[in-house]
Every structure is written in structure tokens, then in C-alpha cells.
Amino acid sequence: MPQAGRSRRGPRRTLTEEQILDAALTLLDEGGTDAASVRGIAATVGVAPNGVYTYFPDKAAVVKALVERLLGEVDHGIFLDRGQPWRQRVESLALDLRTRLSAHPGAVPLMIGGPMDGPNALALNERLLELLNDAGLHPTDAARAAYLLIVYVFGSIALEVADLHRPGPLPPEPERIDTRLRAFAATPAEHYPRTAAAAPELAGYISTEQYVWGLRRVLDGITTSAATGEVVG
């Protein structure tokens, strides 16, 4: 029997790593990286900060686990169909990554803010190296080309997200392009004639069309290296 005047404790709240990561991702989506503090995560899941520390020693560990989870959602079936042309497989992967990461723009800076060396990141890199080997690249060039593609994909997505200047979900692409076009249309042509003339193209820098165009130019260079058998020393 409980003593008089002392309240009965309720059932202990169960918590999982996935719930913590869900909360972190929600905070990132709504408020950006600053919002996803350990205290903020704890408040979201309804526990004291120590409850989060039971699973993760610090915010960096939460971030690393979240990056791993997002990379683990990549469709590896894109790689596995070796009957498809290698360029098509790379392009499908790049578009898949862009779609998934653009859905969580707050997480994008985390992707490039630290080493991607967890199991899912390594598996993604392994598949990419396999794909580039299928393209006929020397192992040294395949490794360098994989890094080049990672820089292009993540760099492009990071710049696209940064263009919004605020946390939260990305507005539809046409809306963002229209906003940029209005801004560039105001460029003083007497001072910046080339920039003013290129306003429509500059507005489209964040478009899927531009993303694919740039990716294909990168792949053109990789294709040339594979065709000539060139190994850069």
C-alpha cells in the first residue's frame, strides 16, 4: 500500500532510439539545426535530457545516427540492376538522393558537416565504386570519380537548401524559381549586363533541370577518362 500523501508513480515511459531520431528530424524540418538540441529533442519526446543521453552521449551522436538513417533509406536497387547503363544508374541515384534530402532540408547541412563513415554511408560508397568499376574506370579513378560525384550531389543540394534563407520545408520548385527570377530581374543591367541577361538561367540554378545538366557534364568527364584509360597521377 502506498503511504498517505505520496502519489503513486505512473508507468515508466518507454523510449527508443528511433523515437529520438524521429524527434530530431521533426525539429530539423521545422526549425533548422539550432532547434535540434538535446533539450529540444527531450522535450519533444516528453523526457528529461538524461533520457536522451541514455541512448546517445551527445548531440553529435544523434546527428551521426540521423545521417546514417537517412542514407539507409536510399534505394540500393538503383545500383543492383547491372543490366542498366552505368550513367543511368548514377543519374537515378543522384535524383533519389536529391528527392530524399530535399524533403528534410534541415538535415542537409549535417550531411556535409562531418564524416560519413557509418555502415550505410560505407555501403553507399561501396555500391558507387562498383558502379564506376562497371563503367571501366581504373580503381584509382573510380575512387576519385566517386568523391567528385558526392561533392557535386551534396554540394548542389546544400546550395539549393541554403537559397531558401530560412528553416522549414522547401516550397515547390516553380515557386522558388519564380522568386529567384524576380530578384535577378531587378539586377542593374548598366552595372552587371551579363548577369541581367542571364536572369532566367540564374533563377533556374536550383532546378532539377540544372541539377541533371550539371551531373551529365560531370559524367561526360568521367566517361572520357574511362574511354581513354587515363589514370591521373
Q: What's the CATH number where 42 sits?
A: 1.10.10.60
Q: What is the pLDDT of residues 68-105, one digit of tens each?
A: 999 999 888 877 788 889 999 999 999 999 998 888 98
61 with 93, same domain: the answer is no
User: In which residue are the cell numbers 580503381 written?
Assistant: 139
207 with 134, same domain: the answer is yes
Residue 22's contacts (CB-CB under 8 Å, 6 or more residues apart) are none
User: In which residue are the cell numbers 529520438 written?
Assistant: 20
64 with 81, same domain: the answer is no
Residue 5 domain-assigned (yes or no): no
Q: What is the pLDDT of residues 185-205, one digit of tens each?
A: 999 999 999 999 999 999 999
- Cα–Cα distance measured from residue 134 to residue 226, given in angstroms and rounded to the nearest whole number: 10
Residue 8 domain-assigned (yes or no): no
| Residue 58 Rama label (left phi>0; alpha psi -120 to 50; beta) | beta
Residue 175 domain-assigned (yes or no): yes
Residue 233 domain-assigned (yes or no): no
- Tell me which of 37, 52, 68 is where a domain ends: 68
- Tell me which of 68, 102, 128 is where a domain ends: 68
Nearest to 128 by CA among 148, 103, 98: 148
Q: Taking 50 as the threshold, does the pLDDT of residue 8 lie above it? A: no
pTM above 0.75, yes or no: yes
Q: In terms of residue numbers, what domain contains 133?
A: 75-228
- Cα–Cα distance measured from residue 120 to residue 97, given in angstroms and rounded to the nearest whole number: 13
Three-class secondary structure of residue 10 per DSSP: coil
33 with 103, same domain: the answer is no
The CA angle 150-133-98, to the nearest 5 degrees, is 25
- Tell me which of 35, 68, 101 is where a domain ends: 68
Q: Taking 80 as the threshold, does the pLDDT of residue 176 lie above it? A: yes
Q: What is the pLDDT of residues 54-73, one digit of tens each?
A: 999 999 999 999 999 999 99
DSSP 125-146: HHHHHHHHHHTT--HHHHHHHH
Residue 2 domain-assigned (yes or no): no
100 with 186, same domain: the answer is yes
Contact indicator for 87, 212 with CB cutoff of 8 Å: no
* Domains contained in the chain, number: 2
Q: What's the CATH number where 174 sits?
A: 1.10.357.10
Q: What is the pLDDT of residues 97-146, one digit of tens each?
A: 999 888 898 888 888 887 888 999 999 999 999 999 989 999 999 999 99
